[in-house]
Amino acid sequence: MSSAIPDSVPLRRHLASWVNRVRGREDPNQRAARQHRSFDAMSGILAWMLSHAGERLQPAGRPRGRALEIGTGQFMAHAAALYVCGYDRVLTIDRYRQVVPALVRASLETPVLARRLLSPYVDHDDYVARLRRLETTQYDLGRLAETGVEYRAPAEASALLAQDERFDLVFSYTVLEHVPPAEIPGLLDSSSRLLAPGGVALHLIDLEDHRDPRADPFAFLSPTGMWSDEACGERGNRVRRSRWGQYFQETTSLNWTFPYAPVRRDAPLPPRLDAAFQGLDEADLRTSALLAMAVAPGTD
Ligand SMILES: C[S@@+](CC[C@H](N)C(=O)[O-])C[C@H]1O[C@@H](n2cnc3c(N)ncnc32)[C@H](O)[C@@H]1O
């Protein structure tokens, strides 16, 4: 009888979420937690991003040591995947306290594909042991920190510089496009100085208008006048590929490469462009995402 009590709460939660799904009333964030923000999906993205670093991950192409994630979001799926694929310490920070424990649990509810997707980086027994360790915390933030996965929010990358800790990986996924342009140089400078010698930086930036990325990914390039910080948060900061290249090269001492920068031609550009984008070539305007990678000097 007593052992039935702890199980009844997850069961009730599970049933309620099924009922909402069947009625078509599922919360969009819950849907994201099961779909494109699931632990499976985010493990795939992580594996793909790490694959661009290849042997530059130390030692010998393996993710090991300390990872810093900038911009946790609501789901914490990348922080979990970073831990599961081999990093023993994962510090995940966010400017705003966005994490929702129910979404974290939903994202990690039934991993199926992650063990295959992360297999280049972690052997099966280690994968299972690490995932179990996370599961035993029931994704309680305090207990997660005991495993090595620490969530800190509100927090800024620049504030971490005062501490001694440096990281073998500095990582972000769909975060930099939300940073207001005036703050980009400071964030890139701080985050690159947080790399340990030989550490790898990997940032995936989504360059599409987040309002309707499927049908109208470049709508925000039309004349608008002022583009507010709120608009950067909701739809993206509109910074184009060539300008990102300048930001990375000019504000850090690292040598950046951009191994993924797809040009999207299936959607229209606005008939008139905002003055900020006039004179840019069409491929620059149409670049829809950017993966930026750099390696800090030294390997000690
Ligand atoms: C679109 S969400 C992506 C979250 C997560 N990476 C994911 O893919 O689910 C962007 C996140 O970045 C955070 N963020 C924005 N600017 C930041 C900054 N300067 N430092 C740290 N986090 C930031 C936001 O609060 C938000 O949680």
Q: Which residue, judged by its Cα, is nearest atom 18 of ligand 1? A: 95
What share of the chain has pLDDT > 70, as a percent? 93
Query: Does the residue 263 lie in any domain?
Result: yes
Q: Which residue, judged by its Cα, is nearest atom 9 of ligand 1? A: 73
Nearest Cα to Cα of residue 71 among 187, 182, 168, 165: 187
Per-residue pLDDT at 299 exceeds 80: no
Q: Which residue, judged by its Cα, is nearest atom 5 of ligand 1? A: 73
For 212-243, how does the pLDDT look when each residue is reduced to its tens digit (9 = 90+)?
999 999 999 999 989 999 999 999 999 999 99
Instruction: With cut-offs at 50, 70 and 90, classify the pLDDT of residue 19.
Output: confident
How far is residue 264's CA from residue 258's CA, in Å, rounded to a whole number? Answer: 16
Distances (CA, A) of 99 to 22, 104, 119, 176: 26, 8, 27, 18
As a whole number, mean pLDDT of residues 49-60 equals 95
The CB of 179 under 6 Å from ligand 1? The reply is yes
Q: Spell out the alpha helix ranges (H) of the chain.
A: 4-22, 28-34, 39-53, 77-84, 101-107, 114-117, 124-136, 141-147, 157-160, 184-193, 229-235, 241-251, 282-286
Instruction: State in Å: Cα 241 to ligand 1 middle.
Output: 20
Contact 254, 192 (CB under 8 A): yes
Residue-range definition of the domain harbouring residue 196: 39-295
Query: Does the residue 197 lie in any domain?
Result: yes
The CB of 148 under 6 Å from ligand 1? The reply is no
Q: What does the pLDDT read at residue 3?
A: 36
Instruction: Report phi then psi at 242, rounded to 5.
Output: -65, -35
Query: Does the residue 34 lie in any domain?
Result: no
Instruction: State in Å: Cα 210 to ligand 1 middle.
Output: 14
The CB of 76 under 6 Å from ligand 1? The reply is no
CATH code at position 267: 3.40.50.150
Instruction: State in Å: Cα 181 to ligand 1 middle.
Output: 15
Query: Does the residue 275 lie in any domain?
Result: yes
The CB of 235 under 6 Å from ligand 1? The reply is no
Per-residue pLDDT at 7 exceeds 60: no
Q: What does the pLDDT read at residue 26?
A: 75
The CB of 96 under 6 Å from ligand 1? The reply is yes
Nearest Cα to Cα of residue 264 among 225, 214, 221: 214
Contact 127, 115 (CB under 8 A): yes
Per-residue pLDDT at 1 exceeds 60: no
Nearest Cα to Cα of residue 105 among 30, 161, 26, 166: 30
Query: Does the residue 13 lie in any domain?
Result: no
Instruction: With cut-offs at 50, 70 and 90, classify the pLDDT of residue 199.
Output: very high
Ligand 1 atom closest to the Cα of residue 173 is 6
Contact 125, 67 (CB under 8 A): no
Q: Which residue, judged by its Cα, is nearest atom 24 of ligand 1? A: 71
For 156-184, how does the pLDDT look when each residue is reduced to its tens digit (9 = 90+)?
999 999 999 999 999 999 999 999 999 99
- Ligand 1 pocket mutation, candidates 74, 82, 178, 184, criterion most atoms within 8 A of CB: 178
For 266-287, how does the pLDDT look when each residue is reduced to its tens digit (9 = 90+)?
999 999 999 999 999 999 999 9
Query: Does the residue 107 lie in any domain?
Result: yes
Query: Does the residue 22 lie in any domain?
Result: no
What SS3 string covers 93-116?
ECCCCCCCHHHHHHHCCCCCCHHH
Q: What does the pLDDT read at residue 13?
A: 65
Instruction: With cut-offs at 50, 70 and 90, classify the pLDDT of residue 22.
Output: confident
Say how many domains are in the chain: 1
Instruction: With cut-offs at 50, 70 and 90, classify the pLDDT of residue 27.
Output: confident
Q: What does the pLDDT read at residue 14?
A: 66
Q: Which residue, judged by its Cα, is nearest atom 26 of ligand 1? A: 73
Q: What does the pLDDT read at residue 106?
A: 94
The CB of 236 under 6 Å from ligand 1? The reply is no
The CB of 187 under 6 Å from ligand 1? The reply is yes
Assigned token pair, 107: 């994202």
Query: Does the residue 2 lie in any domain?
Result: no
Q: Which residue, judged by its Cα, is nearest atom 14 of ligand 1? A: 71
For 94-122, how does the pLDDT look when each residue is reduced to its tens digit (9 = 90+)?
999 999 999 999 999 999 999 999 999 99
Instruction: State in Å: Cα 260 to ligand 1 middle.
Output: 21
Per-residue pLDDT at 77 exceeds 70: yes
